[in-house]
Structure 1
Amino acid sequence: MTEDEMREIALSFPGVVEGSSYGQPAFLVNKKFFTRYRRADASVVLMEVSIDEREMLMEAEPMTFHITAHYKDYPSVLARIATLHPGSYRNFLERRWRKIAPKTLVRAYEKERAG
């Protein structure tokens, strides 16, 4: 996945806006942190990932999933965009989006997807 694809997927969720976090490109929903891009290691920060799930991901796909000391106590994982599957990225983001988006947006999103 490229940086442009990463950005496009993040912005495809209703209510997502661009911002910055730690001086890096970030995405927010309802003024809450959604995800951000880390230029230092070309990774995205994925939230709502339990520590157990994170350990499993890092063991299964060490070229994609990793952490730094900063994230070790948070339910999150870092994923290198070059090897992260776009569908997996979307699924991780949807999990976070559903938790922080206004409920009216979530209901409208579900209704639209149900078609």
Structure 2
Amino acid sequence: MKSKSVDFNYADFETVKNIALTLPGTEESISHEGTPSVKVRGKLMCRLHDGGEFIPIRLGFEIRDKYLDSHPEIFHLPDHFKDYPYICMWLHNYDRKLLEEILELSWRGLATKKQIMEFEENKKQNR
């Protein structure tokens, strides 16, 4: 049995991780094949793919399809991910503002109603 090649650089996940960790209740973790990830309430929010080329980000199917259509140069969907609520972002071809938007949407799908309410209050106060 041939083992799968794991080829990634932890530094490639730094920006994504740092943005994700600004959201309430997020925590740094280790996921599949020892890749760095961020979780919310123990559920995977995003991680560096073990191939090192992209970052799967948890996102509801309807929202995912909208971003796949509007930003095909940034997001894609490998066959393995089609049945799961994830979108895959190419590693070196993304816009930081768009990344922040996607990560917040991902977080909202995993956070509690209370966490979302407190987050909204904080946003209002910091405007």
- Relative to the length of structure 2, the TM-score reads 0.75
Distance 1:73 1:105 in 2: 28
Distance 2:87 2:32 in 1: 17
Matched residue SS, 2:103: helix
Please state if 1:53 is matched with 2:63: no
Aligned letter for 2:24? Answer: P
8 Å Cα contact 2:76-2:89 kept in structure 1: yes
Q: Which has the higher strand share?
A: 1
8 Å Cα contact 1:26-1:34 kept in structure 2: yes
Inter-CA distance 110–55: structure 2 relative to 1 (3 Å threshold): closer
8 Å Cα contact 1:48-1:76 kept in structure 2: yes
Large movers: runs of 4+ above 4 Å? none
Q: Note the aligned Cα RMSD (angstroms).
A: 2.0
Aligned-pair identity in percent equals: 23
2:43 aligned residue: 32
Higher relative contact order (CA 8 A, sep 6+): 1
Aligned letter for 1:5? Answer: T
Aligned letter for 2:113? Answer: K
Matched residue SS, 1:38: coil
How many residue pairs get aligned? The number is 111
Distance 1:66 1:55 in 2: 6
Aligned letter for 2:66? Answer: E
Please say which structure displays the higher CA radius of gyration. Answer: 2
Distance 1:95 1:85 in 2: 15
How far 1:54 sits from its partner (Å)? 5.3
2:109 aligned residue: 99
- Relative to the length of structure 1, the TM-score reads 0.82
Distance 2:54 2:87 in 1: 10
